[in-house]
Structure 1
Amino acid sequence: MPELRGRLLTRRRALVLGSRVAAAGVVGGLAGYGAWNAVAPALAGSSKRAIRIGYLPVTDAAALLTAYDGGFLAKQGIDAPEPVLFRSWESLAQAFAIGEVDAVHLLMPLAIQLKLAKKTPLKVIAWGHVNGSALTVSNDIGDLSQLAGTTVAIPYWWSVHNILLQRMFAAEGLTPVIRQQPSVSEGTVQLAVMAPADMVAALAGGTVGGYVVADPFSVVAEKQGIGRVERFLGDVWKEHACCAIVVREELINEDPDVVQGLTTAIVQAQQWIDENRPQMGALLTEGGYLPQPTPAVGEVFTRDAAAYADVTTHEQWHGERLGFSAFPMASYTEALVEQMRTTTIDGDTAFLDDADGDAVHGGLVDDRFARAALGGDALPSGKTDRQELIEP
């Protein structure tokens, strides 16, 4: 693997961006465009088209960021400027939709909504990771039923977080409500969309009784002593893909070799992460990608399952562990479409009325690149299909 340290040192100078993003709320518009223009001339002589990467500062982005920072993209002959940090899924999706960035990690339900409802020209080329999210509650919440009468924050309406939170609510007899005062007696819980970066402060201040989101925010709450993990989402839906790697269709049409190189780099980065988990905290924080403390980020990759035995239902699933699996399975997309139909959303859901899961997968996903990166025709069938297990 290429040497990481040199890249990490240069990022302290290049990514003062991280602190500025927190203040500005989003890197987009002229800010993102300017960052790209500043480096474009230096990339003009590269052997392959440079790609602009966007991400949220959560561990879901680990494979995409490691592909860049670890030199895996460069090894494939692909140049890229510094990945651009966005503060919310809304801002990242908007930047991607208008072509400000070419490749992002994106919530899978959001990718489906953008494709079907917004007609955004995108393709899922790989999964970025599996698991890696949790429902975190304040310390005075003893079990799920005690969330009645409170507000719970979600990162986006079209997210696996919202979907699985509502499956857990249904199993407990709770009802989600939107823009409505929640009631203990009626067993209702108000849902509120919130940028992940704001969730810890909201929990500490009592604005919310809990939040469901990607890590490292469950670890941050634990280390600050303000909350605890109530349930890992990987313990509700086995090895679900929260985020996928998504590119604009024009990139596939114009530069399929670049897309193949990107996908191969993602696969190689995932394999490297699995073999070097103790190094990930430093890579993502000292490199300036994630603003959370290094110990909190590092713990996401090295969690001790025994420490969470009291909140785990399916011990053999290892839902507490952020995992990596690149191939975008059709069974998952199909099941996800069905789950989206029965999820309470603040927005239009008409695009799901006649949506067929198999057809959605065919239009959304281009698995040629992941298949080639993982071994082509030699890829075992067990790596391309499975039975989806959802047990809230």
Structure 2
Amino acid sequence: MTRLRLGFVALNDAAALIAAGAKGFFAAEGLEVDLVREVSWATIRDKVDVGALHGAHMLAPMALAATAGAELRPLVAPMALNLNGPAVTLSSRLAGVIDPAASAQGLAALIARRRDEGASGITLAVVFPHSTHNYLLRDWLSRAGIDPDRDVRINVAPPARMTELLVSGVVEGICVTEPWGAAAVTAGAGRTAVRASQLWPRTPDKVLALAEAWAAENPEVVQALVRAILRGAAWAERNRPELAALLSEPAYVAAPAAVIAPSLEDMIFHAGEANAPDPAHAAWLLAQMVRWNHLPVGVDAAAIAARVYRPDLYRAARDSLAAG
């Protein structure tokens, strides 16, 4: 048995990894995997970088940013873990004073009104600067004429703290992957303003990220790992009621199954080649990183996308599963 440590954050889209462990798919591939729950994305990134984790459930833009920079070890993403999942949830206080049917435009009007009155601005939260959540939120705001860097404050917080921040009034809106937006709605603290799938159908979110050098040195282990997680993703797609109960366990997402179950409805774990790492997704994310000055203009986005997103590794694992 090959022993591995994989990190994850308490979110619905860790489902493929969690199912691969709970349903014996790792063991069937000769892998003994310790799933390590981490609190924040920064911790996930840093532990993969120093080798404390062999790989992780990771924000797709985080993997791209790590490889684009000079400070961190390059990463590869041999598979995507899900599509859809994020949502923008505004506090019930805001939802009570803006039009829910046109929430971005209503938010723009409220910001202008507060500015004219000299009142405090709007504070929103995302899970990490390099995240689909940040870029979707910024794009949604900018479509309504809101400058994300001038008209609002965008803070960063761990996903599992988002509900608490909205309930306590520290922030007035969050963009986070489920179930934490749903948890805020259930608590009466928020209302869903827009789902990622409404802005971009089949929104990319998380990938399996591995250190590039380690993946190159361990090709057979990588293939076994991807096969096991593909089986976990397929199981998650087909068994959502049982998945909700599994994710609700204290070692995993640790939210009530009654909250998790409906929050799974919009998510795609495996259907329609959802696990293929799509270079078009990487291209959009990199374009947003340049747009918001997270990467320099002129960066070779195509080279970064091709280096990180590895559909060749995905196809090899998928095809060996089909042949078996």
TM (norm. structure 2) is 0.87
Is the Cα–Cα contact under 8 Å of residues 73 and 212 in structure 2 kept in the other structure? no
Q: Tell me the alpha carbon deviations over residues 25-60 of structure 1, each in whole angstroms, 9 at most, x when there is no partner.
A: xxxxxxxxxxxxxxxxxxxxx2xx211110100112
| 2:231 is the alignment partner of 1:282 | no
1:370 to 276, 298, 314: 314
Q: Tell me the alpha carbon deviations over residues 174-204 of structure 1, each in whole angstroms, 9 at most, x when there is no partner.
A: 11137xxxxxxxxx11111111122111111
SS of equivalent to 1:239:
coil
Is the Cα–Cα contact under 8 Å of residues 152 and 192 in structure 1 kept in the other structure? yes
Structure holding more strand per residue: 2
Partner AA of 1:328 in structure 2: P
| Corresponding residue for residue 310 of structure 1 | none
| Corresponding residue for residue 112 of structure 1 | 64
Query: Which structure 2 residues correspond to residues 68-83 of structure 1 after superposition, within 5 A?
Result: 68-81=21-34, 83=35
Partners of 2:309 and 2:296 lie apart in 1 by 17
1:84 to 36, 40, 45: 36
| 2:124 is the alignment partner of 1:152 | yes
Partners of 1:126 and 1:152 lie apart in 2 by 30
Query: Which structure 2 residues correspond to residues 9-48 of structure 1 after superposition, within 5 A?
Result: 46=1
SS of equivalent to 1:135:
strand
1:341 to 285, 290, 311: 290
| Corresponding residue for residue 332 of structure 1 | 281
Is the Cα–Cα contact under 8 Å of residues 78 and 314 in structure 2 kept in the other structure? yes
Partners of 2:311 and 2:240 lie apart in 1 by 27
Unaligned runs of 5+ in 2: 112-120
| Corresponding residue for residue 94 of structure 1 | 46
Q: Tell me the alpha carbon deviations over residues 100-155 of structure 1, each in whole angstroms, 9 at most, x when there is no partner.
A: 00110111111111111134132111001111110001113232244433100010
Q: Tell me the alpha carbon deviations over residues 68-111 of structure 1, each in whole angstroms, 9 at most, x when there is no partner.
A: 22111111111122x11111111111111111001101111111
* Change in CA separation of 1:97 and 1:300 when aligned onto 2, cut-off 3 Å: same
SS of equivalent to 1:50:
strand
Structure 1 segments (4+ residues) deviating >4 Å: none
Partner AA of 1:169 in structure 2: L
Unaligned runs of 5+ in 1: 1-45, 179-187, 304-319, 380-392
SS of equivalent to 1:299:
helix
Partners of 2:283 and 2:245 lie apart in 1 by 37
| 2:260 is the alignment partner of 1:297 | yes
Is the Cα–Cα contact under 8 Å of residues 155 and 161 in structure 1 kept in the other structure? yes
SS of equivalent to 1:192:
strand
Is the Cα–Cα contact under 8 Å of residues 61 and 128 in structure 1 kept in the other structure? yes
Partner AA of 1:162 in structure 2: N
How many residues align? The count is: 299
Is the Cα–Cα contact under 8 Å of residues 122 and 153 in structure 2 kept in the other structure? yes
| 2:81 is the alignment partner of 1:133 | no
Is the Cα–Cα contact under 8 Å of residues 82 and 267 in structure 2 kept in the other structure? no
Partners of 2:173 and 2:250 lie apart in 1 by 30
| 2:298 is the alignment partner of 1:354 | yes
Is the Cα–Cα contact under 8 Å of residues 16 and 269 in structure 2 kept in the other structure? no
Residue 322 (structure 1) shift: 4.1
| Corresponding residue for residue 11 of structure 1 | none
Is the Cα–Cα contact under 8 Å of residues 251 and 259 in structure 1 kept in the other structure? no
TM (norm. structure 1) is 0.72
CA RMSD of aligned residues (A): 1.9
Is the Cα–Cα contact under 8 Å of residues 125 and 365 in structure 1 kept in the other structure? yes
- Where relative contact order (Cα < 8 A, 6+ residues apart) is larger, the structure is 2
Is the Cα–Cα contact under 8 Å of residues 132 and 323 in structure 1 kept in the other structure? no
Q: Percent same amino acid at aligned positions?
A: 28
| Corresponding residue for residue 249 of structure 1 | 212
Is the Cα–Cα contact under 8 Å of residues 237 and 268 in structure 2 kept in the other structure? no
Partner AA of 1:300 in structure 2: S
Partners of 2:172 and 2:87 lie apart in 1 by 14
Is the Cα–Cα contact under 8 Å of residues 126 and 156 in structure 2 kept in the other structure? yes
Is the Cα–Cα contact under 8 Å of residues 335 and 357 in structure 1 kept in the other structure? no
